[in-house]
C-alpha cells in the first residue's frame, strides 16, 4: 500500500494530486493550453508536440506474468470501489481508467486515455473533452461520453465519492455529455485542478453504478467484480491473493503484453522483501533495510529506483476534542524536539531524506522553499531545551509527562523503526509515546474519522507543492470528528489558508510561488502536521524476464505499485522477454 493509504489516491486526495504508455486509437490533437506527451501513434492532449510515452516504443508479443510485492498490512478485502480510498489502489489503473494520464515525474507530460483531446475556453472556466470512441467495458457494453458525465455527477450527488472536493472546493458547476464530447464548467479558472479531474478520477459504468447496490451506496459499495475499461479484470480474488487477467477487449490494441498479474497479500515487509530478493516477485514497493546486501547483491537482475515525491509526517490531532495535541505549544514542542536527520538515517536506513517543517519537498520544489522562514522559527535543527520550555507552558514535563498514542500500519517496518526513534527523542522532554500497530483497514478507519492522538502517514504528492499542501491544510477536505475526512485528517482549519488555496488557481506563476510560500508559513507557524522524511516511491524491479520498467532515464510513470493510476501505465508497458521468442 501507499505509505498512508491512497488517498489512496490517497489518496492523492486534495485537488491535484500525487505518476505512459502508447495508445493506439487515433484522435484529434486539441488546442489545449498545456504541453502534452502521448503514446506512439496517438495525438497529444494539448498544444505540445506528441512524443512516445512508452518505455519501449515497438509492440511486443503477449505472454508472461508479474508478481507484485507491496505490503498492505492485512489480507485483501476483495473490494474494488474506485471511490473508496481504502481499496482504490487495487482498482485504479488496473481496472478503471482516467480521461488523461498526467506524469508527475516528467513535467506533467500528458497521455490521452479515455479522452483523446480537450480544449479550454479563454478564461479556463470550461473544458471540453473529446471522448474516445470504440471502447468497451470489460463486460462487453459500449463505453460512451454519458458514462463520463455520470461519473462526475455521481461525485456531486454523493459527496463521499468526491475524494478531491471537485464540487465543493474546485468550483465544479456542471458536467454534461453531448455526442462524443463532455463539457465541464467551473466557477473560476480550473487548470490547477486538471490533475485531479482528468488524471485521478476513474470513470465508472453507468449501467453498473447507476443501478442496484452500486447506485444505493456508491461510496461504500464493495464492487467485488469490477467492470472497467482498463487493461485487466479481476479473476479471482481471495483474502491472500488478487489475480488480474489481461482484458481481451482492451482498447489499446495489442496491450497489455503481460497476461497475468499476481498480487499476494503481505502482512509485513519481511516476507515481501524475501520474495523480491529471490526473484519470486518482480515488482516491489516497500522499504528494504540494507538494500545493497539484502536485495541488489543477490542478483544482477535486481534493481531499485525510488524518487521522492511527498512527505511522511506525524499528524497531531488538531481538533479541540483532543486537548493536548490541539494546543499549539504541544505541537511546537514535538516539532522542535525531533531530529529528522536521525529519523531518516535510522528509521529509513538513509533511503529517504529528512523533511522540513515547511512541507516543501527538496530539491524537487526548491523554488517554493523559504529556508529563512524555517531557520527563523528554529526548525532548521532540533532544540530539546526550547521544546521542553514550550511543553512546560502547556503543563507537561518529565515529572508530569504527556502520554500520547500514535497509530501506524502493522508490517511497515521502516515506520516502526522511525517511530522508535521519535519515541526515544520525545521522552526526555516529557512526552511518552505508545505505538499502535494496526491492520490497514483499522488504521484507515481511525485516520479518516480522526480517532487518534497522533498518526504516522505518508500523503500523496502532485505536480507542485500545492497539491500536497491542499490535502493537508484545506478545511473543505476535512470533516468533524467521527465523520470520514477525504484528507486533512488532523482537522486543521484556517480561513486565511483556505483563502490562499482558493486564490492559487487564478494566479500567475510568480504569484503562485508566493502563495505557496505563504501557505508553507502556516505549516511553520501553526504546526498542523510535522513532516519527518520525504516520501519516496519505493520501487524495486527484476529484469530477468520482465523489461520495460520506468527508470531515471525514462520516467514514464511514477514507479511504485501503490501509485494510481500510474500502475496502469507500467502494466501496459512492461513485457515478458521470454514471450518474445
- Non-local (6+) Cβ contacts of 479 within 8 A are 450, 485, 486, 491
| Average confidence (pLDDT) over 9-31 | 30
Q: Which three cell numbers stand for residue 323?
A: 486537548
Q: What whole-number distance in Å separates Cα of residue 203 and Cα of residue 91? A: 11
Average pLDDT of span 246-275? 95
Residues facing 92 on adjacent strands: 96
Report helix, strand or coil for 570: helix
Residue 224 has phi, psi (to 5 degrees) of -70, -25
Q: What is the pLDDT of residues 502-547, one digit of tens each?
A: 999 889 989 999 999 999 999 999 999 999 999 888 999 999 999 9
Residue 37 pLDDT: 30
Identify which has the larger pLDDT, 294 or 581.
294
Distance from C-alpha of 307 to C-alpha of 286, rounded to nearest angstrom: 13
For residue 185, report the phi and psi dihedrals to the nearest 5 degrees: -120, 150
What pLDDT, on a 0 to 100 scale, did the predictor assign at position 64?
97
Question: Considering only CA atoms, which of 103, 193, 115 is closest in space to residue 155?
Answer: 193
How many residues does this entry show for the chain?
581
**Alpha carbon distance, N-terminus to C-terminus of the chain:** 34
pLDDT of residue 21: 26
Q: Mean pLDDT in the chain? A: 89
Q: List C-alpha distances in Å: 12 to 168, 255, 469.
A: 17, 27, 11
Question: What local confidence, expressed as pLDDT, does residue 224 receive?
Answer: 97
Q: What is the DSSP letter of 487?
A: S
**Better-predicted residue by pLDDT, 323 or 18:** 323
Q: pLDDT digits over 39-68, tens only?
A: 322 333 333 322 333 333 458 999 999 999
Per-residue pLDDT, averaged over 262-289, amounts to: 94
Percent of the chain with pLDDT over 70: 90
Q: Is the pLDDT of residue 201 over 80?
A: yes
**What integer pLDDT is reported at residue 58 of this predicted model?**
58
In the predicted model, is pLDDT for residue 75 greater than 80? yes
Percent pLDDT > 90 in the chain is 80
Q: What is the pTM of this model?
A: 0.76
Looking at residue 49, its pLDDT comes to 27
Q: How do residues 433-479 score in pLDDT, each as one tens digit?
A: 999 999 988 999 999 999 999 999 998 888 899 989 999 999 999 99
The predicted pLDDT at position 536 comes to 87
Is the confidence at residue 487, as pLDDT, over 70? yes
Specify the pLDDT at position 574: 98
Average pLDDT estimate for 416-438: 97
pLDDT of residue 104: 87
The band of 14, judged by pLDDT with boundaries at 50, 70 and 90, is very low
The Cα–Cα gap between 428 and 450 comes to 27
pLDDT, tens only, 101-119: 999 888 789 999 999 999 9
Give the least confident one: 217-226, 301-310, 383-392. Answer: 301-310
Whole-number Å distance between alpha carbons of 520 and 516: 6
Q: Indicate if the pLDDT at residue 141 is higher than 90.
A: yes
Phi-psi sector, 129: left (phi>0), alpha (psi -120 to 50), beta: beta
pLDDT digits (tens, 9 = 90+) for 289-324: 999 999 999 999 999 998 888 999 999 999 999 999
pLDDT value at residue 309: 83
The C-alpha atoms of residue 500 and residue 166 are separated, in whole angstroms, by 17
Instruction: Look up residue 428 and give its DSSP letter.
Output: G
Beta strand segments in 46-151, E: 65-69, 100-103, 109-112, 115-120, 126-131
> Which residue would you say has higher pLDDT here, 236 or 1?
236
Once rounded to an integer, what is the mean pLDDT over residues 5-31? 31
Determine the Cα–Cα distance for residues 191 and 44; give it in Å rounded to an integer.
Answer: 17
Amino acid at each position: 500500500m501507499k505509505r498512508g493509504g491512497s488517498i489512496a489516491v490517497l489518496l492523492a486526495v486534495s485537488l491535484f494530486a500525487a505518476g505512459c504508455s502508447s495508445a493506439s486509437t487515433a484522435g484529434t490533437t486539441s488546442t489545449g493550453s498545456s504541453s502534452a506527451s502521448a503514446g506512439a501513434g496517438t495525438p497529444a492532449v494539448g498544444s505540445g508536440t506528441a512524443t512516445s510515452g512508452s518505455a519501449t516504443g515497438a509492440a511486443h508479443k503477449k505472454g508472461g506474468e508479474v508478481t507484485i510485492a507491496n505490503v498492505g498490512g492485512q489480507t485483501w478485502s476483495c473490494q474494488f470501489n474506485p471511490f473508496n480510498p481504502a481499496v482504490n489502489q487495487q482498482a485504479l489503473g488496473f481496472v478503471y481508467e482516467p480521461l488523461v494520464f498526467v506524469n508527475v515525474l516528467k513535467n506533467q507530460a500528458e497521455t490521452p486515455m479515455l479522452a483523446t483531446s480537450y480544449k479550454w475556453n479563454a478564461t479556463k472556466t470550461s473544458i471540453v473533452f473529446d471522448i474516445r470512441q470504440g471502447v468497451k467495458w470489460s463486460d462487453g457494453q459500449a463505453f460512451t461520453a454519458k458514462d463520463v458525465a455520470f461519473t462526475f455527477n455521481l461525485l456531486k450527488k454523493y459527496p463521499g465519492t468526491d475524494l478531491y472536493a471537485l464540487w465543493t472546493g474546485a468550483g465544479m458547476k456542471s458536467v454534461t455529455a453531448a455526442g462524443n464530447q463532455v463539457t465541464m464548467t467551473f466557477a473560476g479558472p480550473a487548470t490547477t485542478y486538471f490533475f485531479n479531474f482528468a488524471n485521478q478520477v476513474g470513470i465508472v459504468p453507468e449501467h453498473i453504478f447507476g443501478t442496484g447496490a452500486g447506485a444505493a451506496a456508491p461510496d461504500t459499495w464493495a464492487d467485488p467484480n469490477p467492470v472497467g475499461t482498463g487493461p485487466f479484470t479481476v479473476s479471482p480474488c481471495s483474502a491472500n491473493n488478487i489475480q488480474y487477467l489481461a482484458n481481451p477487449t482492451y482498447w489499446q490494441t495489442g496491450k497489455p503484453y503481460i497476461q497475468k498479474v499476481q498480487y499476494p497479500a503481505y502482512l509485513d515487509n519481511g516476507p515481501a522483501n524475501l520474495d523480491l530478493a529471490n526473484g519470486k516477485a518482480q515488482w516491489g514497493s516497500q522499504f528494504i533495510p540494507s538494500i545493497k546486501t539484502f536485495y541488489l547483491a543477490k542478483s544482477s537482475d535486481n534493481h531499485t529506483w525510488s524518487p521522492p515525491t511527498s512527505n511522511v509526517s506525524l499528524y497531531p490531532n488538531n481538533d479541540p476534542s483532543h486537548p493536548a495535541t490541539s494546543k499549539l505549544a504541544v505541537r511546537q514542542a514535538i516539532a522542535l524536539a525531533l531530529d529528522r536527520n536521525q529519523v531518516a538515517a535510522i528509521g529509513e536506513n538513509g533511503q529517504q531524506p529528512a523533511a522540513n517543517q515547511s512541507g516543501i519537498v527538496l530539491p524537487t520544489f526548491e523554488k517554493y522553499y523559504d529556508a529563512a522562514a524555517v531557520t527563523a522559527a528554529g526548525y532548521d535543527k532540533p532544540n530539546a531545551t526550547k521544546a521542553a520550555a514550550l511543553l512546560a507552558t502547556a503543563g507537561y514535563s518529565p515529572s508530569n509527562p504527556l502520554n500520547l498514542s500514535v497509530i501506524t500500519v502493522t508490517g511497515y517496518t521502516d515506520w516502526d523503526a522511525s517511530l522508535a526513534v521519535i519515541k526515544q527523542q520525545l521522552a526526555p522532554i516529557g512526552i511518552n509515546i505508545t505505538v499502535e500497530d494496526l491492520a490497514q483497514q483499522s488504521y484507515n478507519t481511525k485516520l479518516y474519522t480522526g480517532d487518534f492522538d497522533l498518526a504516522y502517514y505518508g500523503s500523496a504528492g502532485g505536480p507542485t507543492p500545492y497539491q500536497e499542501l491542499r490535502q493537508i491544510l484545506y478545511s473543505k477536505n476535512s470533516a468533524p470528528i467521527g465523520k470520514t475526512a477525504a484528507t486533512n485528517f488532523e482537522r486543521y482549519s484556517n480561513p486565511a489558508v483556505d483563502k490562499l488555496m482558493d486564490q492559487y488557481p487564478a494566479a500567475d506563476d510568480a504569484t503562485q510561488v508566493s502563495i505557496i510560500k505563504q501557505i508553507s508559513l502556516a505549516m511553520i507557524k501553526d504546526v498542523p502536521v510535522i513532516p519527518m522524511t520525504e516520501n519516496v516511491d519505493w520501487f524495486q524491479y527484476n529484469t530477468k524476464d520482465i523489461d520495460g520498467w520506468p527508470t531515471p532515464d525514462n520516467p514514464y510513470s511514477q514507479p511504485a505499485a501503490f501509485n494510481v493510476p500510474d500502475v496502469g501505465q507500467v502494466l501496459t508497458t512492461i513485457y515478458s522477454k521470454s514471450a518474445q521468442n
